[in-house]
Chain A
Amino acid sequence: MNNNSKISPLSICFLSSFLYRSFYIIGLLNLVISIAEGDSIFSIIIGSILGLIILYSYFYLNNKLTKDTIFIKISKSLPKIIADFIIVLLLILLLFVSGFTLYNLSLFVNYNLLNNINILPISVLLIVSVTYLASKGINTITRASGIFIFTFIALVIISIITLINYSDPGNIYPLLTNNFLSIYEGSIYHMILSVTPIFLLLIIPKDRIEDNKKYNRYMVITYIISFVYILINYVLIISILGIKLTSILNYPDIIVLQKVSLLNFVERIEDLLSFKLMFDGFLFLALTTFYIKEGIIHLFKMKPNKKLILLVGLIILIVSIYFKITNIKLVLYFMTLILLIHFILMIFIRKKS
């Protein structure tokens, strides 16, 4: 496949829909609930609305220097030393975020699918698959997301239809029990952790997107659908388990999926349905691996090298196993820094373009 061939805007939209939920299962939901408790629903709604600012920032950066990747944009907009420093900082931050994602995705697999198994073999299997996907280039990553989205939709439909009977709207109450500060804090966290990964798509120059005039419109529609889904999923979980039970569970989604029963004889299918939760982290890791590889190539003016992606995968694995980051608040700081870097870039890129 030609690595410079055009990419369908729909494929990128599919990929973005997974990116919005990158941290959802591995800590974001629990973080928001621990802060805003029963009012998390407002945090999610406000966070989604505020997230439009980040989406606009992405469009802004994407529409400047449309032939270039993010790294070239940074290099063209800033003095060389500062540009190199920012790229290095971006790559290091993403390395740690990837390490967190890989480790927590492995913990999720360990909890849900492979009990009593060491984390290392699970992480190795995941990173090998991720590296293989990333080595095939951005076209393959976006196409893979296209395949994943249909599987995801099928699994979501099965889950929602079967779980709706178990939901009790009364469990969503009481509402507005916390002060506005908690709701606001939850919404900011939700905004940063769910929308910031969209900046990873800046690795795709706008000119490589087919029919890019309608691209922004497609992205906004995908954004709305994705956050409506996140909201429905949240309401479904809370209406089944109640806020107090949800707040003490590691993976409330899985506990809810355990109740799925098709026609009263297809039961215990939560292992299959839980794959819908793994797609998000998996695609995020694939895109980050590709992003870091491209960053290193740009930084050291290297020629495209297939072995480099293996090295990146290995480094992510080492970071994941060595640091064992499970505190999502640390990732929140990293993602906030990534967000700030892009906001600063917006100021400088305006002058250059």
Chain B
Amino acid sequence: MKYLKIILFVLILTSLTGCVSYTELNETAIIDTILIDKKDEQYIVTINMLTPTKDDLEKRKTYTATNTSLDKCLSELYLSTTKKIAFSHLELLAITPNIQQEELKEIINLFLNRVDSRNTFSTIVVTYPDKLFDYKTKDINELININHNERGIVSIKQFDSIIKDILEMNVSYVPRIKIEDELIIEGYQSIYSETRLLSIDESIGYNFITNNIKQGLFNINDIGIKLNTSNTTIKVNKNKIDINITSSYQVLNNNQNKKDSEITKSYNNALKKYINQFIYNNKPNYFNNLIEKYQYDYYKDHKNFKLEFDIHVTSTKIENSNIQGGNSFE
């Protein structure tokens, strides 16, 4: 029995997983950003590789590969970096507007089949991507976060929620950033079944509809308004969609000395305009999905239904001293 234990112990030691097909840390390419573009039937994949240095500063280096498929690009990158590419620390996936439905399918398959990919990284569409790697990934994500918290135009979109959107609605809305001398947020870009840049107003409208707006700054008839809180509820009855928004706002400047009731009315109309612009300028996939979810029997029996919308906005003005009050106007 003693010998058996020794043999067993040695067997376990030799089969310890750390000893089999291991990869040293310095032989692993830790990627934090990946940019995917397509031109002339060729994928162009650029990665940003991080190398931790002794003085704790991140050394960044970019590598680019061009080939007919993403797998071949990654193989090329493996050869040029001489390291095993790891997506486990990926924080940003940037795609260009050239990426269409078929390319997106390939990208989704690539990440779903990689066990080292966590799929919780944020995803953006970039125009003029040449300077993307001049900026740190954290700064780009922070820019989107600040925009979400203060302006309400776009918010962080994680890759897994994009897959979910595409599976359910055939379309997803992803923040689009223009990179010139500085980073400029252009609004949401629809991807997959349709590809178009949403205007700033449409992007805000989308955030209102999805109840994904924290704060916002609006200039309505030369009056500066800050959205403080907002809550959207959507009720679906057959093909009728009732959108109810309850929000509170602050007036930042009122040079024309307009009455509170007038400001509230203008503000409510502006919110309705944002929502209407999103509804009527984009495919109705988001709302069709709502009808499929909540009115399945109707959805099943009426394939070519026409959507009817009813939008209500109820707003409350908050005084700048943060004391609740003001008019309520519907």
Contact = CB atoms under 8 A, between A and B. Distances in A.
The secondary-structure label for the interface of chain A is: helix
A79 interface: no
Contacts, number: 69
A58 to B, nearest CB: 35
Given A173-B293, A176-B296, A241-B160, A115 B15 contact: no
A111 B16 CA distance: 17
Interface string A104-126: 00000011101111101110110
B17 A115 contact: no
Nearest to A112: B115
A112 B23 CA distance: 17
Contacts of A158: none
Interface string B105-120: 0000000100110111
A114 B17 CA distance: 8
B164 A124 contact: no
Contacts of A175: 296
B17 A111 contact: no
A128 B12 contact: yes
B133 to A, nearest CB: 24
A276 interface: no
Interface stretch (A62-70, A94-102, A216-224, A242-250): A242-250
A318 to B, nearest CB: 15
A128 B12 CA distance: 8
Contacts of A248: 112, 167
Interface residues of A, number: 33
Nearest to A109: B17
A150 B238 CA distance: 48
A6 to B, nearest CB: 29
A44 to B, nearest CB: 20
B168 interface: yes
A259 interface: yes
A258 B299 CA distance: 34
A177 B23 CA distance: 48
A242 B164 contact: yes
Contacts of B8: 128
B25 interface: no
A121 B20 contact: yes
Contacts of A117: 17, 20-21
B323 interface: no
A134 to B, nearest CB: 15
Contact of B116 (A115, A120, A249): A115
Nearest to A131: B8
Interface in A157-178: 170, 173-177
B: contact size bracket: 20 to 34
B16 A121 contact: yes
B292 A174 contact: yes
A174 B293 contact: yes
A122 B15 CA distance: 8
Contacts of B119: 255, 258
Contact of B163 (A110, A245, A310): A245
A111 B115 CA distance: 6
Contacts of A245: 160, 163-164, 167
A126 to B, nearest CB: 11
Given A118-B20, A245-B163, A124 B11 contact: yes
Contacts of A307: 1, 4
A1 B39 CA distance: 71
Interface in A302-318: 306-307, 310
B294 A242 contact: no
Contacts of B292: 174
B122 to A, nearest CB: 13
Nearest to A121: B15
Nearest to B294: A173
Given A124-B15, A177-B296, A259-B120, A242 B21 contact: no
Contact of A255 (B4, B15, B160): B160
Contacts of B296: 173-177
B168 A115 contact: no
Nearest to B158: A259
A115 B115 contact: yes
Nearest to A176: B296
Nearest to B234: A170
B68 to A, nearest CB: 25
Interface string B87-126: 0000000000000000000000000100110111000000
A170 B294 CA distance: 8
Point out which of B11, B15, B16, B112 has the most chain A C-beta atoms below 10 A from its C-beta: B15
B210 to A, nearest CB: 10
A122 to B, nearest CB: 6
Interface of A: 110-112, 114-118, 120-122, 124-125, 128, 170, 173-177, 241-242, 244-245, 248-249, 255, 258-259, 268, 306-307, 310
27 contacts: A111-B115, A112-B115, A114-B17, A117-B21, A118-B20, A121-B16, A121-B20, A124-B11, A124-B12, A125-B16, A128-B8, A170-B294, A173-B294, A173-B296, A174-B292, A177-B300, A242-B167, A242-B168, A245-B164, A248-B167, A249-B112, A255-B160, A258-B118, A259-B120, A306-B1, A307-B1, A307-B4
Given A118-B20, A307-B1, 13 more contacts: A117-B21, A120-B15, A125-B17, A174-B293, A175-B296, A177-B296, A241-B160, A241-B164, A242-B167, A244-B167, A245-B160, A255-B119, A258-B118
Q: Which 8 A-B pairs have the closest CB atoms?
A: A174-B296, A173-B293, A244-B167, A121-B15, A245-B164, A115-B115, A124-B15, A117-B17
